[in-house]
Chains A and B, each alone.
Chain A
Amino acid sequence: MTSLLRHQIVLLLLRVFTGGIFIYAPLDKIIHASGFSDSVWNYHLLPQAMINLWALWLPMLELLLGILILIGVWSIEATVLVNFLYVLFLIAIGQGLARGINFECGCFSQGGKGASANWSTILRDVWFFAMSLWLLWAEKRQSTWSLLQEIQRPESLRD
């Protein structure tokens, strides 16, 4: 069972899933940095001086992590950071909901285009977090290219 959950094909799918999310999610935020800055401000968590720096840095960090995970380079480090970010997101959204603030998640879009965050946003992030924890557990130092070649090789010839 354990070997099945860490099988190369499972690892590949998990990389595509988490890497894909982290490549897609920041695109709109990079293009519309000003709107994402509004979303970050709405959380009322960061001091004024850090809001724009975070609004600029976070999407680029997400994009880089997504690419690293997808191609399988430094993927363990990238997955650790992704898990850390999910914890931050869950805390940020959870505290906002607990305080009753009406705010946009800013998860996939921003600048008035996204719906207000709610408890289903938390559930979605918990689901994504679970997948990235699974990825961290299944992850190994092997590029996706080499993983694909191994998957295509007959079972008997594998290491």
Chain B
Amino acid sequence: MRTFVIRLVIIALASFGTALAVNALRPSGSIALIRPSQAELAMRDGITPLHLDTAQLYYKDSAILFVDARPASIFKRGHIPRSLNLPEEDFDSLYAGFAAKVPLDRPLVVYCDGIECRSSEILSKKLKEKGHKYIHCFFGGWIEWRDAKLEIEK
């Protein structure tokens, strides 16, 4: 039994050590041992993360457009008032219509369900690539907004 446990430990340690060594020698560059937060990753891509309190402030400014990245069927069930639905999965087919209505210098706040969805982050990157200048990502999204009992629209 002792030998059995020692072998398990050796397998675990050998694989861990090799993993660190391979990461250090990776030709494409090693990845950080501690993963940056989603907000930090977004900032690296030129996207500004927003917390709920700032999102509320921005909501009061009609010059700032809220963009809902969720599918249309979910958007219809409830969303932040005055937001525009641009489902991330249909971006390629819907972007032309979006671009016709929204100039590149209009500030945007992109959201999806909440911290467990990625479509707001992905959509933010796609909009950035299209040349939109001021993109904010509200990671708390619909769930945080709704749970804070803020104004909603159906």
Contact = CB atoms under 8 A, between A and B. Distances in A.
Interface of A: 30, 33-34, 37, 41-42, 44, 48-49, 51-53, 55-57, 59-61, 63-65, 68, 74, 76-78, 80-81, 99, 101-102
Query: B interface, by DSSP: helix, strand, loop or mixed?
Result: helix
Nearest to A43: B116
Contact of B31 (A33, A42, A44, A80): A33
B102 interface: no
A56 B37 contact: no
Nearest to A112: B122
Nearest to A46: B35
B23 interface: yes
10 contacts: A34-B31, A41-B38, A48-B35, A55-B31, A55-B35, A56-B19, A57-B15, A61-B11, A63-B15, A77-B4
Interface residues of B, number: 25
Query: A interface, by DSSP: helix, strand, loop or mixed?
Result: helix
Nearest to A52: B35
Interface string B98-141: 00000000000000000111100000000000000000000000
A42 B115 CA distance: 10
Contacts of A53: 33-34
A136 to B, nearest CB: 13
B12 interface: yes
